[in-house]
Amino acid sequence: MNLISDFKQWWNRPLKPKDRVHAILIAIVGGFWIGLISGFVFAPSPTPLNVLGYWVFGGIIISTLLAILFPKVITVVLCPLSLFSIGSN
C-alpha cells in the first residue's frame, strides 16, 4: 500500500511493450486536450474550426512522439490530462 515504493518499483522496472502502448494511448488523449486548450489560448480570437483542428492534430502528434521516446515520463505527466472530462455530466 506504500505508493512511493510502488512508484519506485514501477519506475525502475524495464520497459515492456504494454508500457509503450499505454503511454501512447495516454499521449493521444492528453495531446488532444493540450492542442485544444492551446488553440483557444494562442490562436487569434475568432478561431475557425480548421485552425483548432491543426492545433489538436499537432498536440496529438507531438505528444505521441514524446511518448515513443519517453514513455514513463509521458505516462506520469499526461495521465491527469487524459482523465480530463471523464465522468462529467
User: Residue 73 corresponds to which amino acid?
Assistant: V
What is the predicted pLDDT for the residue at 84? 66
Mean pLDDT by 10 residues, the chain (89 residues): 85 91 91 90 85 93 95 87 61
Query: Whole-prediction pTM value?
Result: 0.82
C-alpha span between 7 and 88 (Å, rounded): 28
C-alpha span between 19 and 37 (Å, rounded): 27
What is the predicted pLDDT for the residue at 86? 57
What is the predicted pLDDT for the residue at 1? 63
Sequential DSSP letters for 30-65:
HHHHHHHHHHHHHS-SS--HHHHHHHHHHHHHHHHH
